[in-house]
Structure 1
Amino acid sequence: MKLFGKQPMQKLRLVNPTALFLPAIVLVLFVVTTRLPGSFFGAGIPTISCPGHPPVIRNSTSAVAGRVPKGCDIFRGEWVPDDAAPYYTNRSCALIEEHQNCMKYGRPDLGFLKWRWRPEGCELPRFDAAGFLHAVRSRSMVFVGDSLARNHMQSLMCLLSKVEYPKDISPTKNQPAVTMYYESHDFTLTIFRSLFLVKSNKSKSDGPWNLYLDEPDDAWLPFVSGYDYIIISGATWFSHPSMFYDAGGRLVGCQSCGVPGVPELGPRYSLRAAFRTALRAIANLEGFNGTAIVRTLTAASHFEGGDWDKGGDCRRTRPYAGNETRVTGKELDFYTAQVEEFNAAKEAARGRGVRMMLMDATAAMVLRPDGHPSRYGHWAHENVTLYNDCVHWCLPGPVDVWNQMLLHMLLAAS
């Protein structure tokens, strides 16, 4: 199965995860109309109990999550039908952000939920919430990235809600973060919003971004050294018009700026430079001796019939088979840059006792054009200025596999 273009896709062999989805024959009945919590980066998420579906708190000290055979590459495989799906619904998890709440907003085809990821040569156990919380007991985890990092964290909280709901202990000032605490397991989960991973700003609201590609973003770097796990990701924003600056503040190039005398270096240049800066900063971060996990990009190429801002949409209702699509063009360049910069940083980190791991999610997600919200992030009659969303992922949905992969990686490192 060749999902990648002319360049071979690099593999990172790990050992052990867990899989997808739990019964839901009556999914249509779970579409709810109550307004759920607002922006994930707004005032914070209140402590929530879901009426009629209270979280089950149980002692997980003896929990042992299922494992896959050693040597099985969980990142290469196919999506296969699974009637025992999903793990949760928008009725059982009250932590889903509105724009990813596809069931609430009336998505009619729920067949997209009934698939699971099967690696080549092995089976993934289903996600074990108690096993995950046991693996991270008395530890801390931080997500760093854009709204897809938020999508990832919300998926994890929904998967864990079967066992425990967290408390919102977000700081009120100084730290631009949302922090959730699982009291029964002494587990802290935090997210820092950083669109480019490096320092960035805008001179004008409608102007290009200014990217300082040699400077890690101080919105997250000063705060993460005490965490056990740092999960870092990013890609989508690098396609936006941007001006590129080096360490001395010198303008060296741009992306779609059209400024005479400024070379068009493009998003491949800025993404590679930003990941190099961010990963080297983590590798050399004073006081950090935990594990850094890099999640590779997920496809933004699922728009059909036009670009994201020109009427493009994603209306497919089934996954692609492995021979129906592949990663090409800019996305292949992005992916290659992420893997190469990860490998370079991993070597640099090894001597300092910092572990780096690659969550190579690209191959699995390029096969799921059916898993995006599209128009189902708001009511059909609402007068909203939103494009069809073919970047984020419905919850529940294919995105839950990222946390199967994450559990596998935690078990492999233990």
Structure 2
Amino acid sequence: MALAKRLQMVHGGGSCLIRWRFHTLIFVLGAVLVTLAAYHSTDSKEILLDYYQNQNQTKDYKSHDHVNVVDHSLLSRCDLFSGKWVYDHNKSYPLYKDRECKFMFDDLACEKFGRKDLNYQHWRWQPHGCDLPRFNAKALLERLRGKRLVFVGDSVNRNQWVSMVCLLDSSIPKPLKYMHLNGPLYTFKATEYNASIDFYWSPLLVESNSDNPSNHSLSDRIVRIKAIEKHARQWGDADVLVFNSYLWWRIPKLKVLRGSFESPNQVYQEVNALQCYKMALKTWSNWLDTHVNRTKTQLFFVSMTATHSRAEEWGMPKDQNCLNETRPIEKEGFWGSGSEPRMMRIIEGAISKLKSKGLKIQMLNITQLSEYRKDGHPSIYRKQWRPLTKEQLSNPRNYADCTHWCLPGVPDVWNELLHAYILHY
């Protein structure tokens, strides 16, 4: 009797358990059906999308002090070029490592060539009133899928190109990328995306006797002021073009060649360099106006960057320069002699005219933000392509490079700005 009663209790408990599981299953199935119905409604998709974007934005903001998910109106309501340098205590900078970038150039690899103070790698640019979107290599590569991005200009523009290659390098599997150098054209290919990120050496934009990327340090600088077609054939099909040209114009006068460099009877005329610069930019802008596809091509002109060769400008002795500098200039609005306001006005005028003709062109005004970074140059920590003289060796300041920039470093921020405009403008 006791055994029968006990069996009845067990079976009764089992029935209750089965009924409970059945009702639970019905409830779960109903919930799933309701969720699926909601998912297929537009409103619910938008709610879910907003939720995950907000979650990602919050996460990125906490870890990097600036955001990845960006309001597309950001660039129209915030001046990304006005701000200050902030030391990154969250250790989210640098965005790559000197020795880990497979395509680093030795004249920019300061850590590799003995620089011990690495604080220059850990500063980030903080615009006033907004945050700079963090560099997203995958998103940029996706935007560049099947396209060609070309940097055109001088060695500072090459500096920015190497930075861009290193920023993208770690996001591309090893077999799916390569670099190829062919005279003035340097090509980096991300084969998975069929994307090409190139640099074309053309320091004066128009034809000159300095167009050889290896042999260009000539005493007399000569230009064909109206000739650009030879260069344009190399970058005319690009989807994104990033130009710069200023460093090689900073001399009193240039020689303007009438005719070609191949002509046996060459005739020159000496012209004021600033006037010559204006004429060269007119040739450049006329070519763009005539040949650029207005519906497809994004154009950028990178403004001049600072040289820090005169330490008295930031309160140091006259015989010093950027060597041994370890911190940015903190005085907001600082300007040194490395920038030429008249050249800036010429650039701004040329860009304004192109915009009025319907071209998508933006000046990346990196001049002020670069002025602060006296600590960011290679100085003596780089490969020297020519043997140093006894005089240079006796005083390292004589050969310190205060024009180009260590990588990782300041040019990465130039590319964060470029990335923001390519993706969001």
TM-score w.r.t. structure 2 length?
0.70
For residue 232 of structure 2, the aligned residue among 213, 221, 224 is 221
Unaligned runs of 5+ in 1: 1-18, 24-63, 255-264
The answer to whether the aligner puts 1:253 opposite 2:280 as a matched pair is no
Match of 1:270 in 2: 276
Measure how far apart 1:234 and its partner are: 1.4
TM-score, length-scaled by structure 1: 0.71
1:281 aligns with 2:296: no
Residue 95 of structure 1: aligned partner: 103
1:275-310 Cα deviation digits (max 9, x unpaired)? 22212212212667411111111012444379xxx9
Q: Quick one: which amino acid aligns to residue 66 of structure 1? A: V
Query: Which residue is 2:382 aligned to?
Result: 377
Among 325, 332, 343, the alignment partner of 2:334 is 325
Give the conservation status (yes or no) of the 8 Å contact 2:366–2:414: yes
- Cα 1:206–1:148 change in 2 (3 A) is closer
Q: Which amino acid aligns with 1:314?
A: C
Instruction: Measure how far apart 1:236 and its partner are.
Output: 1.0
Name 2:373's counterpart in structure 1: 368
> In structure 2, what is the Cα distance between the partners aligned to 1:269 and 1:118?
36
Q: Distance in 2 between matches of 1:272 and 1:106?
A: 41
Q: Which residue of 1 aligns with 2:219?
A: 207
Matched with 2:18 is none
Q: Is residue 112 of structure 1 aligned with residue 116 of structure 2?
A: no
Partner amino acid, structure 1, of 2:112: K
Q: What is aligned with 1:149?
A: 157
The structure whose residues are more often helix, as a share, is: 2
Inter-partner Cα distance in structure 1 for 2:227 and 2:246: 17
Which is further off, 90-99 or 320-329? 320-329
Secondary structure at the aligned position of 2:225 is classed as strand
Query: How far apart in 2 are the matches of 1:383 and 1:82?
Result: 37
2:396 alignment counterpart = none
- Provide the residue aligned with 2:79 in structure 1: 73
Alignment of 1:229-240 (within 5 A): 229-240=240-251
Letter in 1 for 2:208: S
Counterparts of 1:280 and 1:303 in 2: how far apart (Å)?
37
SS of 2:330's equivalent in the other structure is coil
Fraction of identical pairs, as percent: 28
Q: Specify the alignment match of 2:12 in structure 1.
A: none
Deviation at 1:319, TM superposition (A): 1.1
Q: Secondary structure at the match of 2:96?
A: coil
Corresponding residue number in structure 1 for 2:255: 244
Once the 2 structures are TM-superposed, how far is the Cα of residue 74 of structure 1 from its aligned partner?
A: 0.6
C-alpha distance in structure 2 between counterparts of 1:224 and 1:240, whole Å = 27
Task: Tell me the SS of whatever aligns to 2:187.
Answer: strand
Contact 2:305/2:339 (8 A) holds in 1? no
Instruction: Check whether the contact 1:75–1:364 (CA below 8 A) recurs between aligned residues.
Output: yes
1:298 aligns with 2:308: no
Distance 1:287 1:411, change over 3 A: closer
Q: Summarize deviations over 1:217-274 as a string: whole Å, max 9, x none.
A: 62x21122211011110111112475332767874434xxxxxxxxxx2x32222222
| 1:161 pairs with one of 166, 169, 173 | 169
Cα contact 2:258–2:268 (8 A) shared by 1: no
Q: Secondary structure in 1 aligned to 2:140?
A: helix
1:109–1:227: structure 2 CA closer, same or farther, 3 Å change rule?
same
Q: Given that residues 181 and 188 in structure 1 are in contact (C-alpha distance below 8 angstroms), is that contact kept between their aligned partners in structure 2?
A: yes
SS at match of 1:227: coil
Distance 1:391 1:340, change over 3 A: same
Residue in structure 2 matching 1:192, options 185, 194, 200? 200
Tell me by how many angstroms 1:328 deviates: 5.5
SS at match of 2:375: helix
Match of 1:396 among 397, 404, 408: 408
CA deviation map 1:32-82 (0-9, x unaligned) = xxxxxxxxxxxxxxxxxxxxxxxxxxxxxxxx9532562111111111110
Which of 1 and 2 has greater Rg? 2
d(CA) in 2 for partners of 1:327, 1:206: 27
Q: CA deviation at 1:116?
A: 0.5
RMSD over aligned Cα atoms: 3.1
Counterpart Cα distance in 2 of 1:232 and 1:141: 11
Deviation at 1:155?
0.3
Question: Quick check: 2:152–2:242 contact (8 Å CA) kept in 1?
Answer: yes
Runs of 4+ in 1 over 4 A off after TM superposition: 246-252, 286-289, 327-330
Aligned to 1:406: 418
The match for 2:188 among 180, 192, 196 is: 180
8 Å CA contact 1:177–1:191 kept in 2: the answer is yes
How far, CA to CA, are the matches of 2:68 and 2:217 in structure 1? 48
Change (3 A) 1:287 1:169: farther
- 1:303/1:312 contact within 8 Å kept: yes
Q: Relative contact order (alpha carbons < 8 A, sep ≥ 6): 1 or 2 greater?
A: 1
Distance change >3 Å, CA 209–CA 241, structure 1 → 2: farther
Q: Secondary structure at the match of 2:346?
A: helix
The one-letter amino acid of 1:363's match is Q
Look up the match of 1:6: none
2:363 corresponding residue in structure 1: 358
User: 1: CA distance between counterparts of 2:203 and 2:284?
Assistant: 12
Deviates more, 1:209-218 or 1:185-194: 209-218
Indicate the residue corresponding to 1:313 in structure 2: 321
* Residue identity opposite 1:292 in structure 2: L
- The change in CA–CA distance for 1:401 and 1:283 in structure 2 (over 3 A counts) is same
Distance (whole Å) between structure 2 residues aligned to residue 347 and residue 194 of structure 1: 26
* Number of the residue aligned with 1:42: none
